[in-house]
Amino acid sequence: ETGVTQTPRHLVMGMTNKKSLKCEQHLGHNAMYWYKQSAKKPLELMFVYSLEERVENNSVPSRFSPECPNSSHLFLHLHTLQPEDSALYLCASSQDAPSGANVLTFGAGSRLTVL
Amino acid sequence: AQRVTQPEKLLSVFKGAPVELKCNYSYSGSPELFWYVQYSRQRLQLLLRHISRESIKGFTADLNKGETSFHLKKPFAQEEDSAMYYCALDGKLTFGQGTILTVHP
């Protein structure tokens, strides 16, 4: 599959569970992003990785832990989440490191529900 | 701090009518602005960016630095334009809250 692929598409977890979201891009891009999309808030940037190095961490709680083992894969590890963390988590990638003229390609998202 | 404001959460027009989706921004440097669109059951995708100065699907957007605005316009709306539209700023993309556009037949 081409583009940005996110798995799983839907995830339901309890507050004590540990799970991970996976993102894979087949575009040869060098930067990858995690965004959170909640019902009542704008899209919120969580993390940015450029060439596997984290370049942005927007005051995200430590219960969200990103991992970027290579430029094609990005994970978001989840543990002891709260119900308010329920949201659509979007992964995106861009050709170059974050800069003014970057165009992002988005995945379809992982819908997370925390019970 | 950079910020993007889309004042209209919902916008409804009839087919063939002009449409304008408003976007205002706050940014200390020279801004790079984008419009992204999300059609029903599809991914968020780029519609246009101001640096390209192009018209996509009949939409245009002009950067007005004096008014710090980047409004999206189309002279004759079509039903297939119904979607969620996001204005975004800068390379890491600060997004506005989005405007749901509904074009009625």
So what's the pLDDT on residue B9? Answer: 93
Convert the pLDDT of each residue in B8-19 to its tens digit: 999 999 999 999
Contact list in B for residue A43 (CB cut-off 8 A) is 86, 93, 95, 98
Convert the pLDDT of each residue in B39-56 to its tens digit: 998 999 999 988 887 888
From chain B residues 22-61, the ones with a CB under 8 A of any chain A CB are: 30-32, 34, 43-46, 49, 51
CA of residue B66 relative to chain centroid, distance: 18
CA angle B36, B37, B39 (to 5 degrees): 160
- Asked if pLDDT for residue A85 goes beyond 80, the answer is yes
Closest CA to A22 of A62, A72, A84: A72
Give the integer Cα–Cα distance in Å for A69 and A43: 25
